[in-house]
Amino acid sequence: MSPIKIIVSKIKTDNYMKTKLGHNFDTDYYDKHIDEDCDCYTDKGDLLFKFRKNVISPALCKRAVDSFSKYSQNLHENRGNAAGIIDENKTRGYVGTLVNKTSVSTKYISNITNKQSKTIITNLAPSNIAGFYDRPDRNTKNLGPKCRLTAFNKKFPIDWDNAIPFINRIDYLFKKLVPDRHSKQLERASITPDFQISNTSFTTMTMNYSFRTSCHKDKGDYEEGFGNLIVCEDYRNKNTYKGCYLGFPQYGICVNVRQGDFIAMNVHEYHCNTEFISPSINSNKNINSNKNKTTINDWHYNRLSIVLYLRKNMIKCAK
């Protein structure tokens, strides 16, 4: 069957959306819920996304899970608006009273020294990168090379090699569905072959584990390209879920991206995820009885999402 085609218009102004950065939009906010192959354009004629169901085999999804699920669960404070409005349940143990509870970042009163911090924190999130990156390693105090291999690739080269067939499949789908964007991105990636993933149009991958992103726009990627998002469900984790749709709140449309699905999307539009929903009320009560950060924040579900893209500043490292 041919994909359905949808034209969407903005239901919220740009000024309104700016005030909602870092905020969440639940499922019932959206008028349109997509769960079938779909090509979606704005009323200006711009492609918002192309979505295809069940186009990545279980075997390839297993490769991604085996390679990335454990590492993706490491918590970091580097996701900005995507990590949401600051929440004491999403901060490290030494963080006491938050100075500003209405922003995505804040200073805090230390539980250890009882003094106000000099640094600003954001929420923790189970989100990590792999491939190549266009900023020096912070551990080198920004004195290292401008472009570098990520820590994941340095530590887990075998896991990375295991995932290459999965990444090649994503690149194939990107080329098939959005050939004009893919062509531009591949040409750009080829300029820096030392920082190109397996001759694909990608330099970098973000892996998220059970991470509900808040309203944000992606930064640092190549504007003429496109984001590529895939969901694989961790077969070793029995905490299944419903919900966590990918939403475009300015247009009132969300997409149910599940195991083996693929979506090519304009990551420079506002986007976020809807809430996780437990498959049953009873299992939800049992899971959350532990009352730790993992369960309180829904980081225990088995959703591994992967976004592949090209970092625009990688070109500064062209030979």
Residue range(s) of every CATH 3.60.130.30 domain in the chain: 4-84+126-317
Q: Please check whether the domain covering 4-84+126-317 is classified as CATH 3.60.130.30.
A: yes
State the pLDDT at residue 282.
46
Q: Average pLDDT, stretch 169-176?
A: 98
Comparing 284 with 226, the larger pLDDT belongs to 226
Of 49, 14, 55, 57, nearest to 32 by C-alpha is 49
Confidence of residue 142 (pLDDT cuts 50, 70, 90): low
Using an 8 Å Cβ cutoff, are 25 and 253 in contact? no
Would you say residue 136 has pLDDT above 80?
A: no
pTM of the model: 0.93
As a whole number, the mean pLDDT across the chain is 93
Query: Which residues, listed in sequence order, are joined to residue 115 by a DSSP beta bridge?
Result: none
- For residue 285, pLDDT over 90 is answered with no
Residue 315 to residue 192: CA distance in whole angstroms:
6
Instruction: Decide: 247 and 253 in contact? Cβ < 8 Å.
Output: yes
